Structure 1
Amino acid sequence: MLRNCTSGMSMVASAVMVILLSACSTPSHAPSERVPTGTLTFSLNDTTQVRIPGVWQGDTLILRNSNETLTLKPSDSLDPTWAIPVFDGRLTLQSDTGFWQDVLRPGTYRVPVRWQAETQAETTPAWTGDTLSWALTFGADDPWYGQLFLQQSGTSCRGSIATATGDFRYLHGSIEGDGTLRLQTFDGAHLFCFAANLGDDGSLSAGTFWSGTHYATSFYGTPLDAGTTALEAAPKAEWTGLPVFYAGIALDGDSTSWEASNADHLHVLSIMGSWCPNCMDEHRLLATLMEQHPTLHVHTLAFERGLDKEGGTQRALDRLARYSDHMGLDRFGDRWHVVLTGPASKTRAQAALPFLDRVVSFPTTIVVGGGGAPWIHSGFNGPAMGPAHDLEVARFAAAVSGSTESR
């Protein structure tokens, strides 16, 4: 029997958490007399599928990720292929079958997909205000931990998983009558599936978490009372006292450097990677703050994959240029600086930025200017986390207004 991590529902954006992704495709950049809606099925293995309801318009694929809309346009050079925005992946379909390719993973990483045209009813689940929560333990030999937050409407459910340094972004799925919990997400970078048994005592058992076709681990969950936090605080990056300075390669290929001692205004340094969805969420918040603070500058310090390959540096610069374009960073002119700073490694990031004693996670954010110690923030809780995201927004807003309390 196939495990389908799916719910065939339409969802509206939530301040707490939700994902709805739509994807579809046809060969030759245009369908012929077919139902425009359907399901894109990703096959993670012989028995596990992620099924994403979708729609397409003309020769453009529309992915609705909660309150985000991802527009996949046909490739100019590859037919029939659609480009995944921001994360630089590809969706290829020929006669309704094909693959999703994550170009940022080593080798040729492809996940088989299949498009099934079908009519979908537009419904809005009646979500209650109640949020269920579980403390999760993943793996056995070297366990790691998370906290699942979930809302229900009938058999449909939506939620997210928090970790000490960020979240799994939007998840959606179902709780079936037999007690099977299934959650899934596809945001262009993450392809996740979760399945577990929900017991009469509220516990989650016999769980498996799949990430694409390359990773799977077991998990179980213990139910928590409302308002309970199961996660321990993560280690924080701290200022070493050294000058805040970086050097790297600008998008035009020229070497560049910057030192905070020369700053006349507040500057935000965002340690990130174009492969990181949580970094994308943080950049969207930074863009909002840039609009509110006309003298604020942001420096995107990118640590990218594939730099050790032949031509890797130029490919990374090209990818960052596309990232900048997708995110609309050019509207800020010379106030937003995108710099290739090193390879995608927390250890290498700390070595490149010795004013930090460590880099705990991507993203890590530093606010400097106006004297005093820099404000340092590790990780990011995105909009899928609802109240936790609201707290992040408040922290960042305070930081660019002069606060120096690190998290």
Structure 2
Amino acid sequence: MSFPISFRPLAAGLGLALALGSCQSNSKPEAADGGGDLMEVGSANALSAGTWRGVLSAQGQEIPFLFDVAQDGGKPTVTLRNGEERLKLDEISTAGDSTTIRLGVFDAALVVRADGEGQLRGAWVKYDGKEPYRMPFRATKGEEPLFPVMADRKIVSFDGTWKVTFKGDDGETYPAVGVFKQEGQNITGTFLTTTGDYRYLAGQVDGNVMKLSTFDGSHGFLFTGKNPNETDTKATAISGDFYSGKKGHETWTAVPDPNAKLPDANSLTGMKPGQKKLDFKFPSIYEGGAISPSDPKYKGKVVVIQILGSWCPNCMDETNFLAPWYEKNKSRGVEIIGLGYERTPDQTLAAKKLLKMKERMNVGYDLAVAGIADKDAAAKSLPQLQSVLAFPTTIFLDKKGEVRKIHTGFSGPGTGKYYQEEIADFNKTVDMLLKE
């Protein structure tokens, strides 16, 4: 999914480096306890323990999210909340009256100041472009609904599975599947696309209007949708808007369809005619090293190639699965190579970003610096492939080093049963190759 780089499934971009669907790129913990213990921020008590409602402002819209502030070993922590997801942030520094909250593995931060009691003001800043990307941010202490709703109002149900079509401002369309779970006025869910998913979304329903949002440090999304008839008990159709960060905008429509599905992710790309093996040699994230599938370490083993970027939330979802999976399965004769495509041409800086990801996520498999975060450039760096449509893309090599399957995108844990199907398909493929 994604943002000055655009990320849009099989189409030109959203004009902004956010990760959308999966993370396509083309250069074109528990909730904190309540309470009022203050954390010193320079000369200001900016962060106090409890739940806060943050708001990003862009395109005349508000993208809200909740976060918890707590103390961990005497140090402040911030935990982002997106539906069931909890993202703990522990790199927090101060300078004067300014507090910088680093956003996990992403090269981004919330930079804030106290703006009166129980108020913060500042910006979401991304540092991975040519110039810092800034979006206004404010927050209010005290748990609130993500979106204001009218009490005692008849609520339309959007619960269920939907066949969705997104349409960009350029007129191009792409398919998706919407899956929503609604309890009263509260709603959670996500959208699956041919290249991944929009991760954990949460929000509220007000009459016949639904609103969902998410913020994970790398992207901020807002989805609005409306059923045509406010008197319906169950929604019969949805039309709405999708806002991604500062500039990205698309419209979307949906109809209920419990059997809605996408094209097979294993059939979207392949090898060029006559090609059976990948031939590459990229520098390791460790100075002086290099990684190639022809290295002795991989001979006679099943090898999984992960095309990723440390800036890509869907890639992080896949890495959260692959890292512990590798530790449990490497003794079976399987290896993983992560090929990192970063938002900088500086190889040393790219290696540092990937090393930070490796350390924070306990990645035990090999990582290489493969190029810049651009799907066309990625395809050129792996000339045996027909194309690279999305980050992540996963390539399976058999014991002879031949490519047996290419899987586009990744359906993460926010997709529920689709995530379980993704994992089952991964394990089935590896098991089959190991038995050969």
Q: Is the contact made by 1:137 and 1:145 (CA closer than 8 Å) also made in structure 2?
A: yes
Q: How many Å apart are 1:242 and its aligned residue? A: 4.5
The match for 1:55 is 68
Change (3 A) 1:337 1:396: same
Is it true that 1:70 corresponds to 2:67 in the alignment?
A: no
Indicate whether 1:110 and 2:138 are aligned. Answer: no
Q: Which residue number in structure 1 is paired with residue 385 of structure 2?
A: 356
Identity %: 26
**Aligned-pair distance for 1:159?**
0.6
Cα shift at 1:319? 1.0
* Match status 1:43 vs 2:57: yes
How far apart in 2 are the matches of 1:181 and 1:76? Answer: 37
Specify the code of the residue in structure 2 equivalent to 1:227: N
- Separation in 1 of the partners of 2:368 and 2:222? 34
Asked if structure 2 preserves the Cα contact closer than 8 Å seen for 1:21 and 1:186, the reply is no
Contact 1:27 1:80 (8 Å CA) reproduced: no
Determine if contact 1:242/1:354 at 8 Å carries over to the other structure.
no
- Report how far residue 245 of structure 1 moved: 2.8
Q: Report the CA distance shift for 1:208/1:119 in structure 2 as closer, same or farther (over 3 A).
A: closer
Give 2:283's aligned residue.
249
Distance in 1 (alpha carbons) for counterparts of 2:90 and 2:47: 20
Structure 2 CA distance for aligned equivalents of residues 162 and 27 of structure 1: 42
Does residue 222 in structure 1 map to residue 254 in structure 2? yes
**1:344, CA displacement in angstroms?**
1.2
Q: What whole-Å deviation, never above 9, does each CA across 1:162-213 have from its counterpart, x for those lacking one?
A: 1112111111111102x111110111112000112222262223x2211111
CA distance in 1, matches of 2:222, 2:39: 25
How far the C-alpha of 1:233 sits from its partner, in A, is 4.4
Distance in 1 separating the partners of 2:46 and 2:276: 63
* Residue among 113, 125, 129 paired with 1:94: 113
CA offsets 1:59-103 (integer angstroms, 9 cap, x no match): 221223455432222445765101111212111111111111122
Q: Is the 8 A contact 2:56 2:62 kept in 1?
A: yes
Q: 1:237 aligns with which of 269, 273, 285?
A: 269
* Counterparts of 2:248 and 2:166, CA distance in 1: 16
TM-score, normalized by length of structure 1? 0.81
Q: Distance in 2 between matches of 1:74 and 1:257?
A: 31
Find the counterpart in structure 2 of residue 265 from structure 1: 301
Question: 1:292 Cα shift?
Answer: 2.6
Aligned residues of 2:82 and 2:201 also touching (Cα < 8 A): no
Deviation at 1:130, TM superposition (A): 5.8
Q: How does 1:369-388 map to 2 (within 5 A)?
A: 369-371=398-400, 373-388=403-418
Partner of 2:196: 166
Per the alignment, residue 212 of structure 1 pairs with: 245
8 Å Cα contact 1:166-1:278 kept in structure 2: yes
Instruction: Give the match for residue 281 of structure 1.
Output: 317
SS in 2 for 1:400: helix
Instruction: Quote the Cα distance in structure 2 between the aligned partners of 1:376 and 1:278.
Output: 17
Q: Which runs of 5+ in 1 are unaligned?
A: 1-19, 122-127
CA offsets 1:292-326 (integer angstroms, 9 cap, x no match): 3133321110111121xxxx322211111111111
- Aligned pair partner of 1:195 in 212, 224, 237: 224
2:141 alignment partner AA? A
Which of 170, 183, 188 is 1:153 aligned to?
183
1:213-241 deviations in Å (ceiling 9; x for gaps): 1212222x231232233x44465221342
Judge conservation of contact 1:203–1:223 (CA < 8 Å) in 2: yes
Q: Which runs of 4+ in 1 moved over 6 A?
A: 24-27
Tell which deviates more after alignment, 196-205 or 361-370.
Answer: 196-205
TM-score (norm 2): 0.76
**1:53 Cα shift?**
2.0
Matched positions, count = 364
**Which secondary structure does the structure 2 equivalent of 1:347 belong to?**
helix
Secondary structure of 1:397's match?
helix
